[in-house]
Amino acid sequence: MEIDLAPKAPKGLFAGDGGSYSSWTPDDLPMLRVASIGAAKLTLNSRGFAAPSYSDSSKVAYVLQGSGVCGLTVPEATTEKVIKIKEGDALAIPFGFVTWWFNPNDSDLAILFLGDTSKGHRPGQFTDFHLTGPTGIFTGFTPEFVSRAWDLSQSDVSKLVHDQSNAGIVKLKVGQKMPEPSDKDRDGLVVNCLEAPLDVDIKGGGCVVVLNSKNLPTVESVGLGADLVRLHGGAMCSPGFSSDSAYQVTYVVRGSGRVQVVGVDGKRVLETKVSGGQLFIVPRFFVVSKIADPEGMEWFSIITTPNPVFSHLAGRTSVWKAISPEVLEAAFDTTPELEQLFRSKRTSDEIFFPPK
């Protein structure tokens, strides 16, 4: 498989007083097209507002920094859900949901979007449909059609649709009122990965929170799973692979470390250093391992199945511990003594290995 797996940073598509929007493109990161995955980042400055839009792709949104408000309108619903969001929050957003985002605070709000573009217009890229602004859907209809649809005069339609110059991300004036968020609207839609119970916690090694259909039911609708991993300084993440034919899409939130990926015929297809802000994708069934630099490394990943299954090739839960000694002796063409030594190691360590 000859394809560029090197980690990449996003490219800016828009920047203004309200904030910015950047994305990763298949031209820069070819695996996006191969895996039909989209990736983008929204940053809202103080009082920045991303106007209502919907997408052709299901997504998982992860709040990288800051806090703010998100509005979601489910298809055929008569009311919207208004949710307070903060760093560590993850939301699963099926395609067709109308969303808006607002930052009422002084510090920036940054949100990562990773999603499935297999049903989208452009494999490997999100296509967003704005409801307002100069590229809004209704700018394409004639005033007559809009007037009939909304039961308004054509002059009022012109004010609402054709006289708008604001882009999709704007800075709202001080005093502009916005809906108040409701705590109950978070139920079933949001999980905070920094506060949720840990699925794995290895002292000196690392910890992980897994998002699946049990703790975030909407991931079933988007067809994706996700996790947040924090690897301690100098620790290693066991070599492993997705055993259910899923791609792993990884965004480094903070810190840095080394990554190796091995593919078909034992060929090392990636050996590099990754750092905060970069994204890379591991092909199906390829084996990946990471070692954190001294400051540690944190990453957020999606997996292209809602309930992912991983096989590890080192540690207490590795496949080596399940295979019989005789088979290992024959496969490695080694002595019983060396096989026993091999089997005796990593009997208590699981997934994350602290530095010696």
Longest Cα–Cα distance in the chain: 88
Angle between helices 336-344 and 325-332 (to 10 degrees): 110
Residue where the block lists tokens 């209704």: 138
Q: Is 336 helix (H, G, I), strand (E, B) or coil?
A: helix
Closest CA to 311 of 226, 251, 248, 233: 248
| Positive or negative: CA dihedral 145, 147, 148, 153 | negative
DSSP line for 72-121: EE-TT-SS-EEEEEETTEEEEE-TT-EEEEE--SSS-EEEEEEEE-TTSS
Instruction: For residue 21, list its beta bridge partners.
Output: 14, 42
Closest CA to 3 of 284, 342, 327, 321: 284
Cβ 121 vs Cβ 56: under 8 Å = yes
Closest CA to 250 of 91, 58, 114, 116: 114
Q: Is 277 helix (H, G, I), strand (E, B) or coil?
A: coil
Rounded Cα distance, 183 and 339, in Å: 56
pLDDT at site 273: 98
Q: Is 242 helix (H, G, I), strand (E, B) or coil?
A: strand
pLDDT at site 163: 76
pLDDT at site 74: 87
Residue where the block lists tokens 């004010």: 159
Rounded Cα distance, 91 and 82, in Å: 13
Instruction: For residue 129, list its beta bridge partners.
Output: 54
- Please give the average pLDDT of every successive group of 10 residues along the chain, which has 356 residues: 88 94 96 96 98 96 98 88 97 94 98 96 95 91 95 93 82 95 92 96 96 88 94 97 93 98 96 98 96 98 90 92 95 95 90 93
Closest CA to 226 of 96, 113, 117, 125: 113
Query: What distances in angstroms separate CA 255 from CA 71, 107, 110, 147, 149, one per listed residue?
Result: 31, 21, 17, 53, 51
Instruction: For residue 114, list its beta bridge partners.
Output: 39, 60
- The token pair that represents 115 in the structure block: 């999603």
pTM for this entry = 0.94
pLDDT at site 129: 95
Query: What distances in angstroms separate CA 118 from CA 34, 56, 222, 279, 281, one per listed residue?
Result: 10, 9, 11, 19, 16
pLDDT at site 248: 95
Q: Is 161 helix (H, G, I), strand (E, B) or coil?
A: helix
